[in-house]
Structure 1
């Protein structure tokens, strides 16, 4: 007999034709520079429908954290298969995944289940046993066959499983378990994505939007700048965006908004199951004291195990995902017309570009640019499209930063547009009669609305800048304050720039002069300079074919405080030798120098006498040691005793002289203090 296909017919499960479910279509994308994007799908629905959102597995956490269901009929809900896969499903089923490999394995695992046979003969009962057997000669074409024994009422009947035309589980719960297992295996085979089922509320015909925030490649800005021609004061700026479709699904006529905001973002594993670790508590046990061992019998040694109580406390961060029906907060944007037809591709060259027609707006988080054209791109594809096309006030300049003798060719631009311009790269062109001429590349900085920026793009080989440095110091004043002589000096640093313009046209030069703490710009005047972080920016014009010197003077006031106790005649003499002091000032310092000299001499005398006394004291220690070691009453002992008497007399005389010297030093110090205070 030929082997016939076996169908498992599950009670309560029927396959009937249904109307085609509404499809979610990507309509809007808000791409940010912070590595996140907002993606919004829409569908036309009627009634209480279910929508399916296909998502990459690595995006499910973000979708669970941020998904919005914008349904005029009311709040909806979403379900999806668990991340643990089939293992968790089979843990609650009466069979394993390996039992679904073949029908004999499944029937063997479900012993006792009630089944109904459809043919070739009708049979009902509970599965009793299953046995593999060799076929007879009549069915030699079948290598092995399965004999199933069924208990029906009070009889046991058998059938060959391979000959059965149909088999039905009479227990609806068993049929549902088999279906659940098959679905779990199917889901486990898909390791890259998940289907999220969205259950909508009851309602009429309407448009439902489903949006979420997830990781997305940052969009990149690439600008094209034309240099202003001689006599002109504006430059053409055209910005192109480079973006990628990494959603896993193709885009077709998607309305794209570019956001320059940098919101706070983080990852949170909401799709992973988390369990709270609980302390283990031992069941209550009656603790009865053991009776004393009878010393007349053999002791039965029993170890009483101690109950150990463990209380592991592991903190688990709670995942809080708030939902709202308001518009997403990633970036505000104007409403778009879903029925609008896509705009035709614009024609034209860079020298006379068509207006982009893109809308832009400034908000608290940054700027947003709504592309006038819808975007179509296959999954994994990249594309570039203009997002800004404006004229900006500009001037060609030469920018010296002190890095090399040749300054940068640069241009100043002012953003007089409606929004800030995001950072990106810039390709610089010079418009000639033959067409655009490449001039260089630059990093385009973030340019806020109504602000200026300098953009350098190449070396100006026709201009050479050299510099010379000179430093001077001059005493400006001195005075006594709280027992100290305060000497005020002015430090001056002069940088002389020697500039040669070898070009045939005027150069607008911008020089960057480093700023240092406590140093002030005195030449040129500070109000003629601008500050750019750690530098001053100074501007001057250099006519064609000439050389010019430009001086920059920085000054700093320094106060040197000298305590009167450490004020020496040599220090005063050096101070009086300063060429910037006039004769009158030197005359005022002369009495101070005399007083300092007398004080120095008195201090030297006190130091000399103290050293002499120290020498006698040290010698006395040596004599005492010798006296202790000499025999008592000997001539040597009498000699050391006489020396000690002589040393004591010398010390008494020296102490009198030292006291007089100290008095003289105190008088000299007082005189010095008075003369310093009179300055």
Structure 2
């Protein structure tokens, strides 16, 4: 058990707890705390120690991570588990002690050793051990080892023995690490110690009570589930529960860190042989001087300014304080919490002390208040296609932030279902579903079709026809209930392109739904229609239009007369470019044929000999080649001119397309007449 009892516990929703201990002391004292090894880094990161009455805390020491063998390596002591006194005294041979045999006076001297002798008794020979002592008077005396009082007079050996025993004891507690706080001061004082450790999150759970009486508002009752997984009881502690998500992290401060230092090799010198004088020549060898740069002296670290916070009384300091008085509950049970907003955090402070035994959990009441709400139906096809869900239309009028958690719903004293409540700020509204309404069945019918083209735009050489895709959903609610009910209908809104048309205005819009609200009469079938549409378009590149496409657009009255005329000019320009491209293609085909023919003629020329009969054939081949070369030159000239004409026609086409802009609705036959 710690000599610093826990006085205050603050639990958070992100896996840590703030613990505050407090005790009274007088004069100089040391205080101890034990933690599990995995908790030490959190303690080192967050430990705060305050002497509230002017004293100081000179130091806080804690167990090292060094193995026990290494810790005891420098102490020349080893006490066996059996025969501890016989094993210890020979190891402190030469130590000054005071020996007081039974029935005798104390004698001071120096330990010589332990002697083992055999003594004859009525039971035969028995082995005995005697302590040999060199007294201060110079006598050597022996004493029965197990019939005396022995006091160590050597302070150094007493310190080593004390360290040895404490270290051995600590090693038996495999997972325990002890912190020792050294408090110095005069008179009676109060010391407060606080720290943050990993802790189970507290959980909220609620009860909603509907129809508790004629004209009464529904009630919400809240409980907090807290878990004490430590090895220490929380006895009459001040408990605070905080909702929020402050930043917290783990950081290893317990494991010693070492900086790798450079290794400087020692330059060894070998033994020196007697010199052998030789005949010399005048040659002087100069030794090379090695210089080392001076290390710049590190500047002293700046002293950290310690900011003293205003100390508050019980319930103050850190999160979880607050001076609000308990508020009266609606029922005969007094409210046991006080609430306070701390930035983005919200805390529930339990007014009365709480006791939670080690390795146990507890339910702590935190809320009992009326709220604005009623029982309604919610239909979401994705949740359940056949029936709506019965919900509590919950408006948080409690004035508190309600942390998320499970809800059990009771109606007229009977259990009717369960739900999950998201975190709710004051005045927020939420539909909390808790049961399936089997007395109402729902059918939905979806009709989807594409509507006519409503608008045509021309821009950047592209014509777009805009048309509407219409989706009409008819919901049929068949109610077998005997009373009128309120229905909320969640209709999916897949993306921002869909717009409602010829439909009642939604009661509200959520991230994924349009939410409609309407009454549902008893014992009848009711229909609700949701019609939505989105505008789509089809694109056509005007540089590639055909006579047939243009004629279709004109027939559908997509264009006015001026735009029709401009498009006909564009079509004429495009056709002119097409004719030039066709001529260029024909010339290219002709060139390829000539090249193939020339290749054949050259192969034939290579096969002819020097005979007179072959001379005429050779001349005819050569004449043909001359004509073909003339034609190839002509083709090149024609291509140059055609490419220039094509580029000019393309420029005129692009200029005409760039100037062409159009944006107008497509009128129906009735509107145009």
Residue 255 of structure 2 corresponds to residue 272 of structure 1:
yes
Pairwise CA distance, 1:408: 2.0
Pairwise CA distance, 1:441: 1.4
**Aligned to 2:53, what secondary structure does the other structure show?**
coil
Q: Per the alignment, do residues 556 and 330 of structure 1 end up closer, same or farther by CA in structure 2, a change over 3 Å counting?
A: farther
Pairwise CA distance, 1:179: 1.9
Distance in 2 (alpha carbons) for counterparts of 1:602 and 1:288: 106
**Aligned to 2:491, what secondary structure does the other structure show?**
strand
Residue 82 of structure 2 corresponds to residue 82 of structure 1:
no
Match of 1:73 in 2: 53
1:378 is aligned, of 352, 357, 376, to 357
Residues 404-450 of structure 1: per-residue CA shift (max 9 Å, x gap):
3223222221112222110111112222xxxx222221111010112
Distance in 1 (alpha carbons) for counterparts of 2:188 and 2:638: 118
Match of 1:175 in 2: 158
For residues 136-535 of structure 1, what are the structure 2 equivalents within 5 Å? 136-138=119-121, 144-146=127-129, 157=140, 159=142, 162=145, 165-227=148-210, 234-283=217-266, 331-334=319-322, 354-403=333-382, 404-405=384-385, 406-431=387-412, 436-461=413-438, 462-481=440-459, 483-487=460-464, 489-502=466-479, 503-523=481-501, 528-535=506-513
Match of 2:532 in 1: 553
Pairwise CA distance, 1:670: 3.6
**Aligned to 2:391, what secondary structure does the other structure show?**
strand
Match of 1:299 in 2: none
Q: Per the alignment, do residues 195 and 289 of structure 1 end up closer, same or farther by CA in structure 2, a change over 3 Å counting?
A: closer
Deviates more, 1:417-426 or 1:105-114: 105-114
**Aligned to 2:118, what secondary structure does the other structure show?**
coil
- Superposition TM-score, scaled by structure 1 size: 0.77
Distance in 1 (alpha carbons) for counterparts of 2:622 and 2:5: 118
Match of 1:119 in 2: 101
Residue 41 of structure 2 corresponds to residue 61 of structure 1:
yes
Indicate conservation of the 8 Å contact 2:52/2:192, yes or no. no
Indicate conservation of the 8 Å contact 2:500/2:530, yes or no. no
Pairwise CA distance, 1:30: 1.2
- What are structure 2's unaligned runs of at least 5 residues? 278-303, 609-613, 663-673
Distance in 2 (alpha carbons) for counterparts of 1:257 and 1:35: 14
**Aligned to 2:74, what secondary structure does the other structure show?**
coil
Residue 82 of structure 2 corresponds to residue 108 of structure 1:
no
Residues 117-158 of structure 1: per-residue CA shift (max 9 Å, x gap):
433787765455656x57254497676555666667998947
**Aligned to 2:249, what secondary structure does the other structure show?**
coil
**Aligned to 2:231, what secondary structure does the other structure show?**
coil
Indicate conservation of the 8 Å contact 2:337/2:366, yes or no. yes
Match of 2:73 in 1: 91
**Aligned to 1:268, what secondary structure does the other structure show?**
coil
Q: Per the alignment, do residues 363 and 493 of structure 1 end up closer, same or farther by CA in structure 2, a change over 3 Å counting?
A: farther
- What are structure 1's unaligned runs of at least 5 residues? 1-20, 295-319, 341-345
Pairwise CA distance, 1:243: 1.1
**Aligned to 1:242, what secondary structure does the other structure show?**
strand
Indicate conservation of the 8 Å contact 1:46/1:206, yes or no. yes
Q: Per the alignment, do residues 333 and 173 of structure 1 end up closer, same or farther by CA in structure 2, a change over 3 Å counting?
A: same
Q: CA RMSD of the aligned region, Å?
A: 4.4
Q: Per the alignment, do residues 265 and 140 of structure 1 end up closer, same or farther by CA in structure 2, a change over 3 Å counting?
A: farther
**Aligned to 1:135, what secondary structure does the other structure show?**
strand
Distance in 2 (alpha carbons) for counterparts of 1:640 and 1:355: 123
Indicate conservation of the 8 Å contact 1:257/1:368, yes or no. yes
Distance in 2 (alpha carbons) for counterparts of 1:124 and 1:118: 9
- Superposition TM-score, scaled by structure 2 size: 0.77
Distance in 2 (alpha carbons) for counterparts of 1:206 and 1:475: 88
Distance in 2 (alpha carbons) for counterparts of 1:170 and 1:678: 110
Distance in 1 (alpha carbons) for counterparts of 2:162 and 2:424: 60
